[in-house]
């Protein structure tokens, strides 16, 4: 069979996504497979089984990244694809999983056609992409490319107080493969857009050319608990008020900076968190992103200045802890152009895209020519059980991935 006519089996891809989504399924119809939990282990076990059933050589590295390798006719630098299968606590079934299962589907389609690419093909599953339990996000791929020492990664403590290295050992995925196991010739990740652009414009494929910078911090506020009824407002050192003020400041900061600036206070805890007690302590997280590095630094500067004045005015102490900081990334123009050509050849509408979300591909871009394929997210919803991508778009993305990988591996 000629490679040109190859198409993946969309029904099987949808069925596999459903099977994986059943692991960590939530009552709201979403997925909760936080990194290195029992659910993550079960998901990894299932994906490894699917890889072994296809005769892929499965290897696991010391940070738990796992790889399925399909030999090429030559033993040379492989073409890599893949993504992650860990989710946020209120995740959907496509974020990350589509990239992994489409990679497996590409292998199965080539096997069925009896086609062997010159370069080996590798499907990667990277540890802790979400960063929702252990910061930073994209941790496994960051370690893979040498951006974070292994021992430092092992020492990271999760939001539940568990140590990353212990959890990796506990689930049995602390492997011994050398790192980086592969220095790919090229890397392409298929992912849902997780934003509103493709869906709103009725376009099927996004050829992702760049990805915005990310700044994560935890802000700890220490004030003084006191009686909610007897304490005059002028005598308060209210950590709860400060947490709320930070949230409001972030909204005005995004508005003032404009452009692609986004600011999010995603997590907030108060202590003692009681109706009639002025909060003595508060912890909030801050997620700042911008496609422009200078603007992102300006956002960080303005937040730091605001926190100083807030501490002074409210008589509290405020400490910050950096959780993640990645500069904007430009992907490989040649690979992005190939994705655009393949989409056109397959008859799909396509447009260049910037990624608002972080992805493992941004780390692989430090190692080899890398780009991404996006498919639409209905109403741009993601990190939400309502996350949805139409089956025909899932298949279109996987077909574009298939032909892009085949061309890169020729
Ligand atoms: O935070 C992100 O952008 C990704 O989902 N880890
Ligand atoms: Mn993702
Ligand atoms: Mn995500």
The answer to whether residue 326 scores a pLDDT higher than 80 is: yes
Average pLDDT over residues 2-22: 94
The answer to whether residue 115 scores a pLDDT higher than 70 is: yes
Percentage of the residues of the chain whose pLDDT score is greater than 70: 100
Structure confidence at residue 1 (pLDDT):
64
Determine the Cα–Cα distance for residues 289 and 216; give it in Å rounded to an integer. Answer: 9
Query: Does 129 contact ligand 1 (Cβ within 6 A)?
Result: yes
Average pLDDT over residues 26-46: 97
Ligand 2 mean position to 245 CA, how many Å?
30
- Each residue of 262-307: pLDDT tens digit? 999 999 999 999 999 999 999 999 999 999 999 999 999 999 999 9
Average pLDDT over residues 369-382: 98
The answer to whether residue 34 scores a pLDDT higher than 90 is: yes
Which numbered atom of ligand 1 lies nearest the CA of 95?
5
Query: Does 130 contact ligand 1 (Cβ within 6 A)?
Result: yes
Determine the Cα–Cα distance for residues 364 and 380; give it in Å rounded to an integer. Answer: 25
Give 4's DSSP letter: G
DSSP 260-307: T-EEE---EEEES--TTB--SEEEEEEEEEESSHHHHHHHHHHHHHHH
Which numbered atom of ligand 1 lies nearest the CA of 383?
5
- Each residue of 119-142: pLDDT tens digit? 999 999 999 999 999 999 999 999
The answer to whether the Cα torsion of 151, 156, 162, 167 is positive or negative is negative
Ligand 3 mean position to 139 CA, how many Å?
13
Nearest CA to ligand 1 atom 5: 130
Ligand 1 mean position to 59 CA, how many Å?
25
The answer to whether residue 371 scores a pLDDT higher than 80 is: yes
Structure confidence at residue 363 (pLDDT):
98
- Each residue of 41-93: pLDDT tens digit? 999 999 999 999 999 999 999 999 999 999 999 999 999 999 999 999 999 99
For the entire predicted model, the pTM comes to 0.96
Query: Does 137 contact ligand 1 (Cβ within 6 A)?
Result: yes
- Each residue of 203-257: pLDDT tens digit? 999 999 999 999 999 999 999 999 999 999 999 999 999 999 999 999 999 999 9
Query: Does 167 contact ligand 1 (Cβ within 6 A)?
Result: no
Note the ligand closest to the C-alpha atom of 83.
Answer: 2
Mean of pLDDT over the chain: 98
Give 70's DSSP letter: E
The answer to whether residue 4 scores a pLDDT higher than 90 is: no
Structure confidence at residue 301 (pLDDT):
98
Hey, which of 86, 215, 359, 380 would you mutate to test ligand 1's pocket, going by the most ligand atoms within 8 Å of its Cβ?
359
**Which structural domains are found in the chain, ordered by start?**
3-212+329-408 (3.40.630.10), 213-326 (3.30.70.360)
Determine the Cα–Cα distance for residues 251 and 293; give it in Å rounded to an integer. Answer: 19
Give 216's DSSP letter: E
- Nearest CA-CA partner of 327 in 367, 363, 302, 277: 363
Structure confidence at residue 3 (pLDDT):
74
What is the band of 12 on the pLDDT scale with cuts at 50, 70, 90? very high
Query: Does 131 contact ligand 1 (Cβ within 6 A)?
Result: yes
């Amino acid at each position: 069979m000629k490679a040109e006519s190859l198409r993946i089996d969309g029904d099987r891809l949808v069925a596999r996504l459903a099977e994986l989504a059943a692991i960590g399924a939530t009552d709201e119809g979403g997925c909760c497979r936080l990194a290195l939990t029992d659910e993550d282990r079960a998901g990894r076990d299932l994906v490894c089984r699917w890889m072994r059933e296809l005769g892929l050589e499965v290897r696991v590295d010391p940070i738990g990244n796992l790889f399925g390798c399909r030999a090429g006719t030559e033993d040379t630098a492989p073409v890599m694809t893949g993504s992650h299968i860990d989710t946020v606590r209120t995740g959907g079934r496509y974020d990350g999983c589509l990239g992994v299962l489409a990679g497996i589907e590409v292998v199965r389609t080539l096997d069925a056609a009896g086609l062997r690419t010159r370069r080996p093909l590798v499907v990667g599953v990277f540890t802790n992409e979400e960063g929702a339990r252990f910061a930073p996000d994209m941790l496994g791929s960051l370690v893979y490319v040498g951006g974070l020492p292994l021992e430092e990664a092992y020492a990271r403590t999760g939001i539940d107080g568990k140590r990353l290295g212990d959890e990796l050992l506990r689930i049995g995925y602390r492997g011994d493969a050398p790192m980086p196991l592969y220095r790919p010739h090229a890397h392409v990740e298929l992912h849902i857009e997780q934003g509103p652009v493709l869906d709103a414009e009725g376009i099927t494929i996004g050829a992702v050319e760049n990805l915005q910078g990310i700044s994560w911090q935890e802000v700890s506020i220490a004030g003084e608990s006191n009686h909610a009824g007897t304490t005059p407002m002028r005598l308060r050192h209210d950590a709860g008020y400060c947490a709320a003020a930070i949230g409001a400041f972030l909204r005005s900061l995004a508005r003032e900076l404009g452009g692609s600036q986004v600011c999010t206070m995603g997590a907030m805890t108060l202590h003692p968190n009681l109706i009639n007690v002025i909060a003595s302590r508060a912890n909030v997280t801050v997620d700042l992103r911008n496609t422009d590095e200078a603007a992102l630094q300006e956002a960080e500067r303005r937040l730091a200045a605001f926190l100083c004045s807030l501490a002074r005015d409210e008589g509290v102490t405020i400490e910050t802890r950096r959780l993640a900081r990645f500069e904007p990334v430009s992907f490989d123009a040649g690979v992005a152009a190939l994705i655009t050509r393949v989409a056109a050849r397959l008859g799909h509408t396509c447009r260049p895209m910037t990624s608002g979300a972080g992805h493992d591909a941004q780390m692989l871009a430090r190692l080899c020519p890398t780009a991404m394929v996006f498919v639409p997210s209905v109403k741009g919803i993601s990190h939400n059980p309502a996350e949805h991508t139409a089956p025909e778009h899932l298949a279109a993305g996987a077909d574009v991935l298939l032909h892009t990988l085949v061309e890169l591996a020729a």
